[in-house]
Structure 1
Amino acid sequence: MSLVTLSDVLQPALKQGHAVAGLVTLGWEDMRAYVAAAEAENVPVILQAGPSCREHTPLPVLGKMFTHLAEQASVPVVAHLDHGYTHDECRIAIESGFSSVMFDGSRMPLSENIAETAAIAKMAHAAGVSCEGEIGFVGYSGGENSAGTDPEEAAQFARETNVDAMAISVGNVHLQQDKEGGLDEPRIRAIEALTNVPLVIHGGSGVPVAQRTALAQGSKICKFNIGTELRMAFGAALRDAVNADPERFDRVQILKETHEPLVAATRAVLRSFKGKS
């Protein structure tokens, strides 16, 4: 296949009743495992470079890694900037080969968020790249609290920014390690009644699997971001590999042993977003 945009995978998801996973990457090992899992499940995948990933590896390098994997993959792959906080960061991502950028202005007043997001969406579209925005702040487990999305503000945001996807705050929380919570479905229904833009859930690891599947098949939520649960799977596999032989020091050999467990965990995540067969 080849590199595709976010719209290329979310518009079919919206029409056909399924969702696409935005998988948060930290390095080469998880990127290649995510693509392998998507190929095994025969579904598209969104590879995401978030702030912690970018602290470790520069955007131009990440762009090369993502596009290389996309060019070799048998399924559509989106190279996505997750939580870009500035115009320059989004510009550099586009120049580095990313096919999608997400600008996070959710901490800004509504008018500023709309103005900044609209400018970045215009820049992205001029380059043939998709743009995701966020309205209503999604908080962090053990950190900042969420501010739920107001449906009327969401409709205005979607209309005035021209984004291709809209992240909303409906009970979801970043970095949540359990699935004991759940999303506010009445708020989701109120938002989707006012807009046709594909909706995005950040902090998808904290959403119960049954609710993920139901919303993927029966709502305008077309993208769930998954990071924490797959980081936990990778960490467990890495710990097992290190502890299996305390004398071993070659990290390539150690990291190879994380591949199959991470592929298996990722396949389970991807299956939960498939449409009705």
Structure 2
Amino acid sequence: MLVTLNDILPAAANSDYAIPCCNVFGYEEGRAIVEAAESLNSPIILAANKDMVDFMGVEALAKMLLSLANASSTQVCVHLDHTYEEEIVYKAMHHGFSSVMFDGSQLPLEENIKRTKQVAQVAHALGVSIEGEIGSVAYKEGRDHIKSINTSPDDAYRYASESDLDAMAIAIGNVHRLTTPDSVIDYTLLNAITEKVTHVPLVIHGTTGIKEDDIKKLKKTRVSKFNIGTSLRMAMGSNLRRLMNEEPNKFDKLYFMQKAMPYVQAEAQRIIQLLR
């Protein structure tokens, strides 16, 4: 069942659970993640990141992810992750993404507000939800041009109030693409943000790098969406490597992918249960 962020995040923001947003790097991962959500009767967000957009294109990605969402017995949001160009965001909407992220985090505040609002007007006219980012969540690797800027509570209030967005990603010590839980969460900063921003669900990117105890604390705040990519990639990659090494005379890709999918499903189930 295809849904938007607006169908699933507001209730989570006002409760003590959160929704996982899982980056998808192929049909096999997407199917394993949806099956994990169905097994636990939990809503899920399937996200397409920039690497996948560059590789597959928006139209092909939309067809793949929407086929999984529309056939699912649970609520599935099909979300375009960090995107800096409006042209790609609008193309994603046209091809059926139910949610998009216009990432203006590298822009001056006024420009971020202006451009996010313009995208939001189009998104809402089409029944699509929109996420934005204030502050800037750094990357451990792969996005060297992305700054590391903690979210200002005053900027967060202005951005949430003036841009018409539906969910807001914040930077409070979280980092993209960490393989170990090394992030140090600034709860004083988070409290200052949540005191000012009371009407927009908050989003944390870089979940793999956050300790489980911190995730359990964060989900009880207005943080309602956690983005996860690295731990899912590790579940697929490490097990696929092991399985192929165990059977060097096998060459069928589907054979190995089907054997690796249960490990992705198990990791997705772990994440869902952690956030419930």
- Scaled to the shorter chain, the TM-score interval is over 0.9
Give, in whole Å, the separation in 2 of the partners of 1:165 and 1:122. 14
Asked if the contact 1:21/1:273 (under 8 Å) is kept, the reply is yes
- Residue by residue, what CA displacement relative to the aligned partner does 1:216-259 show, whole Å, maximum 9, x if unpaired? 1x200000100011111110111122112111111111111111
Asked if the contact 1:22/1:48 (under 8 Å) is kept, the reply is yes
Give, in whole Å, the separation in 2 of the partners of 1:78 and 1:72. 12
Aligned residues: 272
Give, in whole Å, the separation in 2 of the partners of 1:44 and 1:183. 26
Gaps of 5+ in 2: none
Q: 2:259 maps to what in 1?
A: 257
Q: 2:174 maps to what in 1?
A: 172
Give, in whole Å, the separation in 2 of the partners of 1:269 and 1:26. 17
Amino acid at match of 2:53: R
Q: 2:79 maps to what in 1?
A: 80
Amino acid at match of 2:242: D
Q: 1:203 maps to what in 2?
A: 206
Give, in whole Å, the separation in 1 of the partners of 2:53 and 2:19. 22
- Residue by residue, what CA displacement relative to the aligned partner does 1:199-226 show, whole Å, maximum 9, x if unpaired? 001111111111112211x200000100
Q: 2:193 maps to what in 1?
A: 191
> Secondary structure of the residue that 2:20 maps to in structure 1?
strand
Q: Which moved more, 1:248-257 or 1:142-151?
A: 142-151
> Secondary structure of the residue that 1:181 maps to in structure 2?
coil
Which of 212, 216, 219 is matched with 1:213 structurally? Answer: 216
Q: 1:95 maps to what in 2?
A: 94
Amino acid at match of 1:38: A
Asked if the contact 1:199/1:222 (under 8 Å) is kept, the reply is yes
CA deviation after TM superposition for structure 1 residue 102, in Å: 0.3
Q: Which moved more, 1:237-246 or 1:86-95?
A: 237-246
CA deviation after TM superposition for structure 1 residue 180, in Å: 2.4
Gaps of 5+ in 1: none
- The reply to whether residue 149 of structure 1 matches residue 144 of structure 2 is no
Question: TM-score if structure 2 supplies the norm length?
Answer: 0.96
Give, in whole Å, the separation in 2 of the partners of 1:39 and 1:209. 23
- Residue by residue, what CA displacement relative to the aligned partner does 1:168-201 show, whole Å, maximum 9, x if unpaired? 0100111111102231111111111111210001
- The reply to whether residue 41 of structure 1 matches residue 43 of structure 2 is no
Which of 247, 250, 275 is matched with 2:249 structurally? Answer: 247
Q: 1:222 maps to what in 2?
A: 224
Give, in whole Å, the separation in 2 of the partners of 1:254 and 1:56. 22
Q: Hey, which bits of structure 1, 4+ residues long, moved more than 6 A?
A: none
Amino acid at match of 1:259: M
- The reply to whether residue 124 of structure 1 matches residue 126 of structure 2 is no
CA deviation after TM superposition for structure 1 residue 145, in Å: 4.7
Q: Which moved more, 1:258-267 or 1:138-147?
A: 138-147
Q: 2:272 maps to what in 1?
A: 270
Asked if the contact 1:237/1:262 (under 8 Å) is kept, the reply is no
Amino acid at match of 1:228: T
Asked if the contact 2:175/2:183 (under 8 Å) is kept, the reply is no
Give, in whole Å, the separation in 2 of the partners of 1:116 and 1:38. 34
